[in-house]
């Protein structure tokens, strides 16, 4: 086998675009933006499209989803036309039940951003149990993953003067107690991993400089990240240290009062969660322990203290089959809600552990989703009661929020989302097709009731296909207005690489098998042609991030199937991806291009590498964000520059703010969404 050039040695005419914040590079991006705006975003039709989406995003009738923090208040983060950066606000449950609750503002992010002269984007709050008075507030400049952290007092609704504060970094921080934090941050040269996340975690005492914090654990440079945290559940206070080896492998230790670490002996590729006396384990591969082999994708339960003492008594709470997979689980005080997918449609069960810790778990149904929709439930306060929130949503069904208590009858409707388009005009159907290697691949189709199977319907096919993430039915007023109401068909392809059928579905498209994502996506496209729903000139493809990589590959490997392609915040240069932003953290997903034997297969799904002259590529739009410190804008910049140099119809837009979402507020989100839809409408042939 011949050795491949390293990323540094490879001839690349567009390397100069990798200087993300260079003035020359930003001027280039602004010039490309201007061309795209002139071509696609200056018509009355575009303005109407953008305004329709913005009305959805800013609607005062949206459900304000809440999280209970402390004994009394329910908190919500809210953006609208008057609060573009957002309000962190709270109310009581009695007030929340009302059609128009009265909210108490805790943090006005617009006012804070104006006072600080920063484009703050909300990254969340971590509040200290059990009194929940002090919180750590995370704020991002312009939407980047990196953020600053400040201590906040929920009673005074003020930042704590002289309190804990961390400068901008990709911080992992959490409370140990009122006077101590676990902090993983940028401690200086050598303290970050190759993935750009913290390599060292320390315990930091209030009133002392960060430099004096005591090291708890150090990972190695090749790790993804390290962190530590305390579970402050009353009566079950425990400290944990975690080493994230790569995206799917990790090690966790129980940290004793003396600082010594006791490893939790589970497979590195499993997920382990400790709640009160119980540990739940999700193995990603078949696991032989105690004379029994447990299937990949199962959910197992063990008494945590017994397990740490060496006993291996595991109870199977869920075991997958060919058409079912575990979606999620959530504790209430006495029960476990388990959400299972059957062919990407949910059903819920309530599992109850034996009261004395011995004997069998009991189970009963909490309900299934209506046809081709999504149902989800989660405990509201797992330390206090068995109350839960439940949501039901579908492609044509606006979200409904319910509240219930396990064992006390049916849940009651708490809030209804508004309808943003006339769903009675459309139908949802699920279809299955066969991929190149014979695998059965599902997809959802949303179309008009009177759809004519004439091969001429403008159709948008969307997918993600990575990182064990599932695409399930959900309501989108934006898609309804911007695509369905204009005569389009919308298709979600549940391709391999995702989690629709558990770990096996994801693992089937890892690394050397990555092209299966493309084969699955192409099989769905070809099935749409066979069913005469659409044809290549009428079919557009769209995806973001890992889905944007998929789009780059559909463009370069299957160009004859599509009339236009939109690739958003994407990985595209797979030769250099590990050297760009947080790229090294995804080696477990894609492989390491610096290893010649792995580059042999990676180059087959590197769009930047595979774009060549003289091909029948459809028009393509690449969108990104300067402040995206996860994937970064470099991929889209270089891909667009190469496509233009090769003489192809390529467009580009780089939002100068926005992070990996490519937007910092609803107005920017509406613009970016409208740009993608407008691009497709302009290029897909109409009947």
Catalytic residues: 545, 660
The label of the residue with tokens 């800013």 reads 58
Q: What letters, b where the CB count within 10 A reaches 16 and e where it falls short, cover 537-559? A: bbbbbbbbbbbbbbbbbbbbbbb
Angle at which helix 634-645 crosses helix 23-40, to 10 degrees, equals: 70
Other CB atoms within 10 Å distance of the CB of residue 43: 12
Q: Name the helix (H) or strand (E) containing 523.
A: helix 515-530
Helix (H, G, I), strand (E, B) or coil at 277: coil
Evaluated on CA atoms 424, 397, 90, 627, the torsion sign reads negative
- Provide the β-strand partners of residue 78: 87
Closest CA to 94 of 130, 132, 66, 129: 66
489-493 and 459-462 strand pairing: parallel
Helix (H, G, I), strand (E, B) or coil at 295: coil
The label of the residue with tokens 């910049």 reads 637
Reduced 3-state DSSP string for 158-196 = EECCCCCEEEEECCEEEEEECCEEEEECCCCCCCECCCC
424 by Cβ neighbours in 10 Å (0-12 / 13-18 / 19+) ranks as exposed
Q: What letters, b where the CB count within 10 A reaches 16 and e where it falls short, cover 331-365? A: bbeebbbbbbbebbbbbbbbbbbeeeeeeeeeeee
Q: What letters, b where the CB count within 10 A reaches 16 and e where it falls short, cover 198-214? A: bbbbbbbeeeeeeeebe
Token pair belonging to 133: 């008075």
């Amino acid at each position: 086998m011949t050795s491949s050039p390293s990323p540094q040695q490879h001839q690349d005419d567009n390397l100069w675009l990798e200087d993300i914040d260079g003035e020359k590079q930003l001027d280039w991006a602004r010039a490309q933006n201007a061309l795209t705006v002139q071509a696609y975003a200056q018509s009355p039709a575009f303005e109407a499209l953008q305004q329709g989406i913005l009305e959805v995003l800013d609607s005062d009738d949206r459900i304000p989803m809440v999280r209970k923090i402390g004994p009394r208040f329910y908190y919500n983060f809210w953006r609208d036309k008057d609060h573009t950066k957002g309000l962190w606000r709270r109310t009581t449950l009695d007030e929340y039940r009302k059609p128009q609750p009265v909210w108490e503002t805790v943090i006005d992010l617009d006012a804070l951003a104006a006072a600080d002269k920063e484009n703050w984007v909300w990254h969340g709050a971590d509040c200290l149990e059990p009194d929940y008075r002090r919180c750590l507030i995370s704020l991002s400049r312009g939407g980047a993953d990196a953020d600053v952290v400040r201590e906040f007092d929920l009673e005074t609704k003020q930042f704590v003067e002289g309190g804990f504060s961390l400068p901008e970094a990709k911080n992992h921080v959490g409370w140990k107690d009122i006077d101590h934090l676990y902090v993983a941050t940028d401690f200086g040269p050598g303290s970050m991993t190759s993935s750009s996340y913290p390599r060292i975690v320390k315990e930091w005492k209030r009133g002392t400089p960060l430099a004096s914090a005591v090291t708890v654990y150090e990972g190695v440079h090749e790790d993804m990240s390290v962190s530590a945290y305390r579970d402050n559940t009353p009566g079950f206070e425990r400290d944990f240290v975690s080493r994230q080896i790569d995206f799917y492998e990790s090690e966790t230790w129980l940290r004793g009062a003396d600082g010594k670490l006791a490893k939790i002996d589970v497979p590195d590729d499993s997920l382990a969660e400790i709640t009160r006396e119980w540990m739940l384990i999700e193995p990603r591969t078949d696991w032989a322990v105690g004379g029994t082999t447990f299937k990949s994708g199962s959910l197992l339960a063990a008494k945590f203290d017994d397990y740490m003492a060496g006993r291996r008594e595991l109870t199977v709470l869920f075991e997958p089959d060919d058409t079912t997979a575990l979606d999620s689980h959530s504790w209430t005080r006495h029960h476990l809600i388990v959400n299972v997918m059957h062919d990407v449609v949910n059903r819920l069960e309530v599992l109850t552990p034996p009261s004395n810790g011995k004997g069998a778990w009991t189970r009963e149904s909490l309900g299934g989703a209506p046809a081709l929709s999504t149902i989800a439930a989660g405990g509201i306060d797992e330390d206090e009661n068995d109350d839960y929130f439940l949501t039901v949503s579908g492609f044509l069904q606006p979200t409904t929020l319910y509240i219930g208590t396990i064992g006390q009858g049916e849940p009651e409707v708490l809030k209804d989302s508004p309808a943003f388009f006339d769903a009675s005009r459309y139908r949802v159907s699920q279809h299955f097709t066969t991929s190149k290697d014979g695998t059965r691949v599902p997809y959802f189709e949303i179309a008009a009731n009177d759809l004519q199977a004439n091969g001429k319907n403008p159709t948008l096919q969307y997918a993600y296909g990575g990182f064990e993430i599932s695409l399930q039915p959900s309501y989108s007023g934006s898609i309804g207005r911007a695509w369905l109401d204009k005569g389009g068909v919308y298709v979600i392809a549940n391709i391999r690489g995702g989690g629709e059928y558990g770990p096996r579905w994801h693992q089937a498209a890892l690394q050397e098998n990555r092209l299966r994502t493309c084969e699955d996506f192409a099989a769905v496209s070809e099935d749409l042609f066979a069913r005469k729903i659409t044809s290549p000139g009428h079919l557009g493809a769209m995806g973001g991030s890992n889905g944007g990589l998929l789009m780059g590959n559909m463009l370069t490997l299957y160009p004859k199937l599509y009339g236009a392609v939109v690739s958003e915040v994407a990985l595209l240069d797979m030769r250099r991806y590990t050297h760009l932003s947080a790229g090294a953290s995804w080696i477990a997903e894609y492989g390491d291009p610096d290893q010649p034997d792995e580059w042999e297969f990676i180059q087959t799904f590197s769009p930047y590498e595979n774009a060549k002259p003289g091909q029948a590529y459809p028009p393509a739009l690449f969108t990104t964000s300067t402040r995206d410190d996860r994937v970064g804008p470099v991929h889209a910049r270089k891909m667009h520059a190469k496509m233009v140099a090769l003489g192809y119809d390529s467009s580009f837009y780089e939002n100068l703010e926005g992070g990996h979402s490519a937007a910092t507020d609803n107005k920017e989100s509406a613009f970016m969404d409208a740009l993608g839809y407008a691009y497709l409408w302009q290029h897909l042939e109409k009947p």
